[in-house]
Structure 1
Amino acid sequence: MRIAVTSASGKLGASIIKHLIKKIGNQNIVGIARTPEKANHLGVEIRQGDYNNRHDFDKALQGIDAVLLVSGMDDPQKRIQQHRNVIAAAEQNGVKKIVYTSIVGNDSETAFSPVVKSNRQTEKDVQEYGMQWVIGRNGIYIEPDLEYIENYVKEGGIRNCAGDGKCAYTSREELGYAYAQMLLDEGNNGQIYNLVGEAISQAELAALINQVYHTNLTYEAVSVEVYEKERKEALGDFLGTIIAGIYEGINIGANDVHSDFAKAAGRAHKTPLEMVQEIKAQE
């Protein structure tokens, strides 16, 4: 069985490939990347694949039995066609199974909803093409908060519009493990899984960071309007709006969902504390 993983040069794609190598060895895995040289370090065959170029995938998916489609990072409206380029090329090449990395979230109530909505459309597309399929809805990664710790310390704490809302965080390492299992285990076919851990509040997140990193962070809640204005000034209109929308989603409960991780992965999701400790140990 030959498995292809798209966006191999990205952190999630690389994690999935790493876990697949542990299970089936590197000779049966193909990484697909828009810039192949950025993925050469992964130790598997790398093929060219730009989501905007259907012809790339007509070639890249030759001889492939299952493909892991990592959701693109482009504008939500562009993503739908980009993903269809991969799905159609997979069907044309006789790929038997497609696994898609979607996201948890609300598709109508926040500034992040257009991103969620475009993912829901690709979920439908994946199901309609006649291949075996599995869909994972990823929770929010915990890594960006840990990468931002120095800034949090400078700013005196964590400040956003999530309020008391709870977020079921995950990590790229946990997702890599789950997606490798979803690709290989036929019992997962036809399932949509929430790939998340235990839900925690922002105050609980700050306490975890303090415990592991010996910081003294507190959490301050601000309004959506104030936070969106701050993020736009710091990151520009598009990204600022998206980030504010993510935290607004946490505030209204869009990220406090039940976890299907154990069903998908065959083991329990690591606790938030275990994830933070693991990431700290790898720094």
Structure 2
Amino acid sequence: MKIAVTSASGKLGASIVKHLVHLIGKENVIGIARTPEKAVHLGVEIRKGDYNSREQFDGALNGVDTVLLVSGMDTPDKRIIQHRNVIEAAKQNGVQKIVYTSIVGAEEGNAFSPIVQTNRQTEKDIQNSGLNWVIGRNGIYIEPDLEYIDTYVKEGEIRNCAADGKCTYTSREELGFAYAKMLTEDKHNAQIYNLVGNGITQTQLVEKINKVFNTNLVFKNESVEAYKAERTEALGDFMGTVIAGIYEGIKEGANDVSSDFVTVTGRPHLSTIEMMKNFKNTQE
């Protein structure tokens, strides 16, 4: 059984590859990357595959039984076509099963919604593909906040527009484990799972960061408009608007969803503190 993972050079793809190798051995895992040399460190066969090229994926999926499609990072108008390139190549190559990394979020009402909508469209395309399928809806990764701690410390605070909304943070490590299970166990077929941890507020996030990293941060809530203006100035229109939309979604409860993690993996999701400690250990 050959399992291929797209975007293997990315952090989520790499985590999934690592967990798959642990479960089924490196000879059964294929990484697909737009820039193959960025994925050679994974120690598995690497094939070239750019989401914009149907032809590359026709080659990359040759002899593959199951493919993990990591959601693309391009603008919403491009993503649906890019994902269809992989789905169509999978059908042509006789791939049996496709597993997709989708996202939790509100389909309408904030600046992140267009990205959620494109993910939902790909979910539909996969369900209509005629292949076996499993869809994971990922919660927000904890790692970007932890990678940003030095900046938070300089500013003395974490500020965004999430107010008292709860966010069910997960980690790429936890997701890698869950997707390896979804790829290798048939009992998950035709299921849509929320792959999330325990819901916490931004104030609780700050408290936990202070505890694990011995910092002295506070949470400062801003209006959606002020936060969006600040983020677009720092990151440009597209990313700034998306980031503001994510936190607006948290404020409105879009990320406070029930978790299917135990169903998928057979064990509880790590706590926020445990994820932070694991991250800290990898940095030391």
Residue 37 of structure 2: aligned partner: 37
SS of match in other structure, 1:282: helix
What is residue 97 of structure 2 aligned with on the other side? 97
Residue in 2 that maps onto 1:107: 107
Counterpart in the other structure of 2:77: 77
Letter paired with 2:281 = A
Distance in structure 2 (CA, Å) of the matches to 1:281 and 1:8: 23
What letter corresponds to residue 72 of structure 2 in structure 1? G
Secondary structure at 2:179 match in 1: helix
| Cα distance in 1 between the residues matched to 2:24 and 2:253 | 38
In the other structure, the counterpart of 2:140 is 140
The one-letter code matched in structure 2 to 1:45 is E
| 1:259 paired residue number | 259
The amino acid of 2:156's aligned partner reads G
Partner of 1:12: 12
User: Is the partner of 1:229 in helix, strand or coil?
Assistant: helix
Q: Which SS does the other structure have where 1:83 is aligned?
A: helix
CA deviation vs aligned residue, 1:5-60 (integer Å, no higher than 9, x gap): 00000000000000000011100010000000000110000000000000001010
Q: Which amino acid aligns with 2:165?
A: G
Secondary structure of residue in 2 paired with 1:82:
helix
2 CA distance for matches of 1:129 and 1:156?
Answer: 50
State the shift of 1:267 in Å.
1.4
Give every structure 1 segment of 4 or more consecutive aligned residues whose post-TM-superposition deviation is greater than 2 Å.
Answer: none
User: Structure 2 CA distance, aligned partners of 1:115 and 1:265?
Assistant: 27
The unaligned stretches of length 5 or more in structure 2 are none
Report the alpha carbon displacement of residue 268 of structure 1 after superposing the two structures with TM: 1.0
C-alpha distance in structure 2 between counterparts of 1:151 and 1:95, whole Å? 45
Q: Aligned partners of 1:72 and 1:276: how far apart in 2?
A: 26
Map Cα deviations across residues 112-160 of structure 1 (whole Å, 9 max, x no partner).
0000000000000000011000000000000000001011111111000
Give the match for residue 229 of structure 1.
Answer: 229
2:209 is equivalent to residue 214 of structure 1: no
Distance 2:185 2:86 in 1: 22
- Corresponding residue SS for 2:123: helix
Percent of pairs identical after alignment? 68
SS of equivalent residue, structure 2 residue 120: helix
Distance 1:188 1:9 in 2: 26
TM-score, with structure 1 as normaliser? 0.99
Note the C-alpha offset of 1:263: 0.7
Aligned counterpart, 2:181 = 181
User: Shift of the alpha carbon at 1:204?
Assistant: 0.3
1:191 paired to 2:155: no
Q: Which residue of 1 aligns with 2:68?
A: 68
Deviations 1:58-117 (A, max 9, x none): 010010000000000000110000000000000110000000000000011100000000
Give the aligned partner of residue 54 of structure 1: 54
TM-score by length of 2: 0.99
Q: 1:240-275 CA distances to partner (integer Å, 9 max, x unpaired)? A: 100000000000000000000111122111011110
In structure 2, how many angstroms separate the alpha carbons of the residues matched to 1:266 and 1:52? 36
One-letter amino acid of the counterpart of residue 3, structure 2: I
Q: Distance in 2 between matches of 1:170 and 1:12?
A: 12
2:39 counterpart SS class = helix
